Amino acid sequence: MKTKNIKEYQKKYQKEYRENNKEKIKEYQSKYREENRELNCEFKREYNKKYYEDNKDYLREKQRAYKKEYYKKNKERKEMQIFKELNERVINWADQKGILLKATPFDQIKKTIEEVDETKEALFAQKNNMFSYLNSKGKLCNTSEEIKDGIGDTLVTLLIQCKMQNLNPLDCLESALNIIEKRTGKMIDGQFVKDE
């Protein structure tokens, strides 16, 4: 009981002392920091130097890992921003051409199939090691360029379809992945065939 009373008295006295000598304490602290600033700086420099020397390899590896992660995340953010901008350009183009106003979702899926068929022609040429080929319209085409163009055109038609259905294309992709990632199956004649 006596010990408790003493501690309470000490706390009360210390609080009163700090309140009554606030300026003096502040002045003393300021003076102490000023007098020991150079010493503290020197100590910090020596400590940092020794710490760096002792942990040089670890710190370099950590810095490399941080930079790698930073650049990866920054790249992902840029790619996502580019995708959003390209999607907006596609929708604006479709709006300007009257596709969103006059075409139906069924018309749009027929356009998707048409682009897939054109890509299929280019892939057939690639399979047969053909640098160029005549497509079904009688036009001479560069195989690699037509594959790239065909995939791009197919994506454009799908983005327009998403707009017609009021769907976010990334939500569609995620929804599909959530299902197919759980599927089991095997490769047959170059294709993945899911188990029933």
Domains and CATH numbers, the chain: 66-194 (1.10.287.1080)
Give 136 or 21, the one with higher predicted confidence: 136
Asked if 105 and 112 touch (Cβ cutoff 8 Å), the reply is no
pLDDT > 70: what percent of the chain?
93
166-192 average pLDDT score: 88
Report the pLDDT value the prediction gives residue 148, as an integer from 0 to 100: 97
Tell me the C-alpha to C-alpha distance, in Å, between residue 106 and each of 5, 112, 159, 169: 87, 10, 14, 18
pTM: 0.63
Q: With 90 as the cut, is the pLDDT of residue 129 above it? A: yes
18-46 average pLDDT score: 74
Cβ-proximal residues to 119 (8 Å cutoff; 6+ apart), any chain: 146, 147, 150, 151, 153, 154
18 pLDDT band, cuts 50/70/90, is: confident
Report the pLDDT value the prediction gives residue 106, as an integer from 0 to 100: 97
